[in-house]
Amino acid sequence: MKIKSAEFVISNSDVSRCPDSPLPEYAFIGRSNVGKSSLINMITGRKSLAKTSGRPGKTQLINHFLINGSWHLVDLPGYGYARVSKSVKKTFQKFITAYFEQRRQMLCAFVLIDSRHDAQPIDLEFMQYLGENGIPFCIIFTKADKLKPKALERNVETYKTQMLENWEEMPRYFITSSQSALGKEEVLHYIESLNEQ
Ligand code: GTP
Ligand code: MG
């Protein structure tokens, strides 16, 4: 799919103020600093559509972007960021869960996992939560450029084994790098296939 237009629509912390639109949408979620905002820029081919930072905790709101005038990408705050206060964390959690439970037009949550790391309890719990609530999701392994091909392959295999301890099958997954644009076409192709359903 070619990206002909990508524009910021609105940021807010209240799911009821998200765009009142039936257009299909796709959310990027994962730990702080895993590369959600960078991936949105990579996928859309726009350098600074979503704000990124080397410091975790950059994205703090639900951000909607309208793509090709016909679907939305949603950049969300990261979970599991230790340096924000407990009350801020709770607020985040509340509006993130409200978002997932209320946005019926959200066709797939892309759960981002840093390809360098082992399965972390917080990610496994979050995917468990999505599964229990019937919320469709895929996994996106990020920052693949930071590993040699062999190590990358080994980490993905290890991750699969860890997932299969709790899941009957490995969810659909993509391997990406926002630096080299690895995985761009695959993710866009998958979104296109869901848009057409
Ligand atoms: P929060 O909004 O804080 O939750 O973070 P985020 O998940 O949106 O991460 P963000 O996209 O802001 O990226 C965090 C850092 O990781 C930045 O310094 C990015 O440049 C870097 N980064 C993101 N993706 C990649 C990647 O694929 N490769 C490399 N090498 N660095 C990346
Ligand atoms: Mg971000």
CA of 63 to the centre of ligand 2 (A): 10
* Pocket lined around ligand 1, Cβ cut-off 6 Å: 32-38, 52-54, 56-59, 77-78, 142-143, 145-146, 177-179
The domain spans of the chain are 6-195
pLDDT at 126 over 80: yes
What ipTM, to 2 d.p.?
0.99
The residue nearest atom 32 of ligand 1, judged by CA position, is 143
Residue 84 confidence (pLDDT): 65
Residue 28 confidence (pLDDT): 97
Residue 83 confidence (pLDDT): 63
CA of 124 to the centre of ligand 1 (A): 20
* Chain mean pLDDT for the chain: 93
Contact by Cβ (8 Å): 71, 9: no
pLDDT at 11 over 70: yes
Q: What atom of ligand 1 comes closest to residue 55's alpha carbon?
A: 3
Q: What atom of ligand 1 comes closest to residue 180's alpha carbon?
A: 27
Categorise residue 122: left if φ over 0, alpha if ψ from -120 to 50, beta otherwise: alpha
CA of 32 to the centre of ligand 2 (A): 7
In the chain, count H helices and then E strands.
5, 7
The residue nearest atom 19 of ligand 1, judged by CA position, is 54
Please give the Cα distance from 112 to 123 (Å, whole number). Answer: 9
The residue nearest atom 18 of ligand 1, judged by CA position, is 54
Q: What is the pLDDT of residues 134-175, one digit of tens each?
A: 999 999 999 999 999 999 999 999 999 999 998 999 999 999
CA of 119 to the centre of ligand 2 (A): 21
Residue 60 confidence (pLDDT): 84
Residue 59 confidence (pLDDT): 83
Q: Tokens 């600093």 identify what position?
A: 33
Residue 91 confidence (pLDDT): 74
Q: What is the pLDDT of residues 49-100, one digit of tens each?
A: 999 988 888 888 999 999 999 999 999 998 876 566 777 777 778 888 999 9
User: May I ask the CATH class of domain 6-195?
Assistant: alpha beta
Residue 90 confidence (pLDDT): 75
The residue nearest atom 10 of ligand 1, judged by CA position, is 35
Contact by Cβ (8 Å): 164, 44: no
Residue 81 confidence (pLDDT): 66
Residues 89, 91, 94, 97, Cα dihedral to 10°: -60
CA of 193 to the centre of ligand 2 (A): 26
Q: What is the pTM of this model?
A: 0.95
Which has the minimum average pLDDT: 12-21, 50-59, 77-86, 187-196? 77-86
Q: Which one, of 127, 115, 119, 180, lies nearest residue 151 by Cα?
A: 115
DSSP secondary structure, 41-57, as one string? HHHHT-TTSS---SSS-
Provide the pairing of β-strand 106-114 with 137-142. Answer: parallel
pLDDT band for position 180 (cuts 50, 70, 90) = very high
∠ CA 135-139-140 to the nearest 5 degrees? 135
DSSP secondary structure, 69-116, as one string? TTEEEEE-PPB--TTS-HHHHHHHHHHHHHHHHH-TTEEEEEEEEETT
Ligand at shortest distance from the CA of 48? 1
Residues forming beta bridges with residue 139, ordered by sequence position: 111, 173
Evaluated on CA atoms 30, 35, 36, 37, the torsion sign reads positive
